[in-house]
Amino acid sequence: MKLNIVGGAGLHKSELRAVDKMEKGLQDSWQAYAGIVIADSQGSMEIDCLIITHDRILIVELKEWNGKITSSNGIWYQNNRNRGKSPYQIKREHAQRIKNLLIS
């Protein structure tokens, strides 16, 4: 995969390690952009990694979490510690907003 690190200063060391592994392990024809910010009328969206394949766009949220991960009412917990709004839900919202930007 061809990787372009756009906002390298905004990536954590663990995120840099992860995108390096993805660059080496994913298809050469794919393009990826790491550490980007996309803005729309609702504000800005921080995207750890945006991957463009031959037929889709993937939004990747990178976490270096371990231990017990649970979710309750849209809030994620790591080892019973509140980690905030579900990254899944946040990226789902981002995907819809990016889709709207692309079709407008």
When divided into structural domains, the chain yields a total of: 1
First to last CA, the chain: 28
Q: Is the pLDDT of residue 4 over 80?
A: yes
- Residue 84: phi and psi, rounded to 5, are 90, -165
Q: Is the pLDDT of residue 15 over 80?
A: yes
DSSP for 23-89, please give it: HHHS-TT-EEEEEEEEEETTEEEEEEEEEE-SS-EEEE------S-EEEETTEEEETTEEEEE-HHH
- Banded model confidence at residue 62, pLDDT cuts 50, 70, 90: very high
- Banded model confidence at residue 11, pLDDT cuts 50, 70, 90: confident
Q: What was the pLDDT predicted at 41?
A: 97
Q: Which domain holds residue 43?
A: 2-103
- Banded model confidence at residue 29, pLDDT cuts 50, 70, 90: very high
Q: Is the pLDDT of residue 45 over 80?
A: yes
Q: What was the pLDDT predicted at 101?
A: 97
